[in-house]
Chains A and B, each alone.
Chain A
Amino acid sequence: DQQVKQNSPSLSVQEGRISILNCDYTNSMFDYFLWYKKYPAEGPTFLISISSIKDKNEDGRFTVFLNKSAKHLSLHIVPSQPGDSAVYFCAASANSGGGADGLTFGKGTHLIIQP
């Protein structure tokens, strides 16, 4: 039973355009959401996060949007660059007092930026 779902295994975007990666979750106890980026043979690296009290967080080319009523978040990358090609994982955590203390990850979306 996947609590964090990334339904697109891969996404191809032209360089310079906007990349939109989507994530859905089912556990209403989740109150903090993160995006991680992973290159081959490396561990995931933190990219951006958002608390459930916000609906948007922006950091340079990266913006994360959270729609709590829909239990949906998205990561926007604009403009997309070749170095953005990687696997992106959506992750969520629940406030201590609910569930495991670790992050729950989705299966990832492989973003490919076409030159």
Chain B
Amino acid sequence: GAGVSQTPSNKVTEKGKYVELRCDPISGHTALYWYRQSLGQGPEFLIYFQGTGAADDSGLPNDRFFAVRPEGSVSTLKIQRTERGDSAVYLCASSLTSAANTGELFFGEGSRLTVL
């Protein structure tokens, strides 16, 4: 497809388990972002990739969260030892240039994570 693709669309897991969320950006987009949206809140920035490297990971809440983008395209957000407070919709977005260069972001539909 032409848009940002995220899998799985829904994930239910138990507290303490490990979770991986995948994002396939728009072809040719070098910038990739992960956001988290909790109920009643706006999207909250987690991490930004320019190519293969994490240019800014200041939004990751703690060391249980990690993201990779090994070939500069698909990215995986990894959450270790999940907690109930991690329950949210995880949004991925891509862009031709970084948001700081006034490039608007194209979002996927999100992965809804529920930690029981």
Q: How far is the CA of A108 from the CA of B44 in the complex (A)?
A: 12
Which of A38-46, A59-67, A68-76, A77-85 lines the interface with chain B? Answer: A38-46
**Residue contact A101 to B99, C-beta cutoff 8 Å:** yes
The reply to whether the CB of A96 lies closer than 8 angstroms to some CB of chain B is yes
With contacts A46-B104, A46-B105, A93-B102 known, is A100 near B42, CB below 8 A?
no
Distance of B88 from chain A, by nearest CB (Å): 13
Are A101 and B107 touching (Cβ within 8 A)?
no
B101 touches A96 (CB 8 A): yes
Most chain A CB atoms below 10 A, which of B33, B59, B91, B102: B102
Q: A46-B105, A102-B48, A105-B42 are in contact. Are A93 and B99 (CB under 8 A)?
A: yes
B58 within 8 A of A: yes
B109 interfacial by beta-carbon distance below 8 Å: yes
Q: How many interface contacts (CB-CB < 8 Å) are there between A and B?
A: 70
CB contact list, B65-115 vs A, under 8 A: 91, 93, 98-102, 104-110
* Residue A18 CB within 8 A of the other chain: no
Bound-state Cα–Cα, A107 to B44, Å? 10
Quick one: closest B residue to A48, CB to CB?
B104
Q: Which residues of B contact A101 (CB under 8 A)?
A: 48, 55-56, 98-100
Question: Interface on B for A, CB 8 Å cutoff?
Answer: 4, 33, 35, 40-45, 48, 55-56, 58-59, 91, 93, 98-102, 104-110
